[in-house]
Amino acid sequence: MNRRESLKLLASAAALAATPLSVRAAMAQTTTPAAPAAGPFTLPPLGYAFDALEPHIDAQTMMIHHDRHHAAYVANINTFAQQVPALGTTPIEETLLNPDYLPLQIQQGVKNNLGGHWNHTFFWELMTPGGATEPSGDLKSAIEASWKDANEFKDKLSAMGVGRFGSGWAWLVLNKEKKLELISTANQDTPVTLDAKAIIGVDVWEHAYYLSYQNRRPDYIDAWWNVVNWPKVAERFAAAG
């Protein structure tokens, strides 16, 4: 190996080391997709093309996010279900709330992967190409009863997402007092375990935005509001009440 080749190799290694771990994982998963594990849990379809949310969310990010990250959660939870068949027949929310029927050594793994599956299934339905840009009807009234207007609400939820330290989610939920509330959860924790019903969830894991936005999480969240499926949000609000 000559001096030029050595320098190129060292530069490549340094660049890789400087890349965030979550992005390195995403890069690896573009060539090594999660192997499907047969079982009771399945990867739901997006319902739209990978590029349907462009220019706000790019096609490669959507492909990696859905076909690699979410698929990995499904594969992992099916592996756990092979060990404990009851996992596959128990409602997801019930397992998240009461995992005591699982062996202690897999409870955290089940929580992480089942939470990831639940969160992402919720997330895909929350987005749509085009469509309404603002809430309406009863949802709009409820938001305006809690905040000055829809813009203030979006600013507050955006700030919560930006302020989430590390990986996680920002949520609009209906709490147990039947009031709208903004909360944040770490990693793949869900509102289910907080006795809250999710209305909106913003994924702020780096794999959701890093290919296009790098460390500019605020820009990603600002763009994300352009793809919110407000009729679906209104449907969830009605069902939660």
pLDDT number for residue 54: 96
In a domain, 7, yes or no: no
In a domain, 225, yes or no: yes
Return d(Cα 164, Cα 108) in angstroms, integer: 21
Residue 62 belongs to domain spanning: 20-26+56-241
Residue 134 has φ and ψ, to the nearest 5°, of: -140, 155
Confidence band, pLDDT 50/70/90 cuts, at residue 25: very low
In a domain, 38, yes or no: no
pLDDT, mean of residues 92-102: 97
- What value, to the nearest 5°, has the Cα angle with vertex 216 and ends 210 and 218? 115
Q: Provide the mean pLDDT of the chain.
A: 88
Domain CATH number, residue 192: 3.55.40.20
Q: How far is CA 43 from the centre of its chain?
A: 14
In a domain, 5, yes or no: no
User: Residue 228 gets which letter from DSSP?
Assistant: B
Residue 32 has φ and ψ, to the nearest 5°, of: -130, 75
Return d(Cα 114, Cα 189) in angstroms, integer: 9
Short-list 2, 26, 25, 24, CA closest to 13: 24
Confidence band, pLDDT 50/70/90 cuts, at residue 38: confident
pTM: 0.84
In sequence order, which ranges of the chain are alpha helices (DSSP H)?
Answer: 3-18, 21-29, 59-64, 71-83, 86-89, 92-97, 104-125, 137-146, 150-163, 210-213, 217-224, 230-240
How many domains does one find in the chain? 1
